[in-house]
Structure 1
Amino acid sequence: MPIPHLTIYRHDRKTRALITLAGEIDLHTGPLVRESLACYLRDCIRTIDVDLTPVTFCDVSGLNVFLAAWHHMAAAGGSLQLHHPPPVLARIVDLTGSRFLLRGLPAPQELPPPREGTIATTPALRPAPRYEALHRLAPVIPAAVGGVL
């Protein structure tokens, strides 16, 4: 299976930066995004805008990277905002209660309906509060290779 392709473009302006991601963000490319965002903190950039317009796919591991970066930026007195997420990421953000992270996200009634064969969300399945979403998406590390969790 080929490794997904991701390109990162960085545009700095004093203490503010725009990062444009193009391609797929998943388990394989997430560490590249994580390291790129960590560089901003080391470079004393305190406001990061991430343009996701050219992103073709982003799964929950990508969202986990963005939530961790948002948390680190907030702890350092900065901010991180995502703009124009792909539909898959918009759905994940809505389900996890992570809307605080995004800009350019359509209102819930404008989100595309779930595909046939998937579980539809109902009003009874409310998203978790922000702090629960952050902890629920924390990375899970197995105790040992092939071991029991």
Structure 2
Amino acid sequence: MKETGWGRALGIGRRLAEADDNQAVVNVDLQVEVLSGKQPALVRVRGELDVDSSPTLIVALLPLHDQCVELDLAPVAFMDSTGVRTLLACKEASSQTGGTLRVIDCSTPVGQVLDLIGCREQLTR
């Protein structure tokens, strides 16, 4: 896997570039479906977004770094602070490389975490 500017911006590019592809993208707790034929690209995330699964989301989003991306988190049952940090970092990195990233829907548990941390508005605009 080649390190991209977005990977560098997230501070994970070298780690992911050096990782075995199977280790970097396989996670039984998180499934990421990318519908990139649409504009904006729709990315549907299902499962648990946490410290173990966040790299799976990053790997799925890397090829879309310079595109408009809408994240559907409605099927996400659980998200911890690492998941929130990952979303914020991906949004920032996307804006630095000419893309956009925003959450268009989320489950009640994810919404509660975003509200508790105070970043729902930042991630949905």
TM-score, normalization by structure 1: 0.58
Aligned to 2:73: 52
Q: Does residue 1:33 correspond to 2:54, yes or no?
A: no
The runs of at least 4 consecutive aligned structure 1 residues that moved more than 3 Å come to none
Aligned to 2:31: 7
Over the residues paired in the alignment, what is the CA RMSD in angstroms? 2.0
Per-residue deviation, 1:65: 0.7
**Paired residue type of 2:106:** P
TM-score, normalization by structure 2: 0.69
What is the percentage of aligned positions where both structures have the same residue?
A: 27
Q: Does residue 1:66 correspond to 2:90, yes or no?
A: no
Question: Residues 35 and 62 from structure 1, CA distance in 2 versus in 1: closer, same or farther, beyond 3 angstroms?
Answer: same
Aligned to 2:109: 88
The number of residues matched between the two structures is: 98
- Which structure's relative contact order is higher, taking Cα pairs within 8 Å and 6+ residues apart? 2
Asked if the contact 1:73–1:79 (Cα under 8 Å) also holds between the matched residues in 2, the reply is yes
**Paired residue type of 1:17:** A
Per-residue deviation, 1:14: 6.1
- The one-character-per-residue Cα deviations of 1:46-90 (angstroms, maximum 9, x if unpaired) are 100011111111111111111000001111222111122222322
Question: Residues 64 and 96 from structure 1, CA distance in 2 versus in 1: closer, same or farther, beyond 3 angstroms?
Answer: same
**Paired residue type of 1:7:** Q
Distance 2:97 2:82 in 1: 23
Asked if the contact 1:4–1:24 (Cα under 8 Å) also holds between the matched residues in 2, the reply is no
Per-residue deviation, 1:95: 2.8
Partner SS for 1:84: strand
Asked if the contact 2:79–2:113 (Cα under 8 Å) also holds between the matched residues in 1, the reply is no
